[in-house]
Amino acid sequence: MAYELSPEHEMFRRSVREFAEAEIAPYAAQWDRDHHFPIDVVKKMGALGLMGLTAPEEYGGAGLAGEDGGFTSLCLAIEEIGRVDQSMGITLEAAVGLGINPILTYGTDEQKQTWLPELVSGDKLAGFGLTEPGAGSDAGATRTKAVLTDGEWVVNGAKQFITNSGSEITSLVTVTARTGERDGGRPELSTIIVPGGTPGFTAEKAYDKLGWHASDTHPLSFEDVRVPEANLLGDRGRGYAQFLATLDDGRVAIAALAVGCIQACLDLSLQYAGERQTFGGPIGRKQGVAFQISDLQVMLDASRLLTYKAADMKDQMEAGNAVSTKDFKQAAAVAKLYATESAVTATRIATQVFGGYGFMEEYPVARFYRDAKVLEIGEGTSEVQRMLIARGLGLPVE
| Amino acid present at 6 | S
Give CA separation, 355 vs 49, 289, 293, 367, 371, in Å.
40, 11, 14, 15, 19
One-letter identity of residue 253: A
- Per the DSSP assignment, residues forming a β-bridge with 172 are 126, 195
Least Cα distance to 69 among 165, 137, 5 occurs for 5
The residues that are catalytic are 379
Give the Cα separation of 275 and 281 in Å (integer).
Answer: 9
Distances (CA, A) of 260 to 126, 256, 301: 24, 6, 12
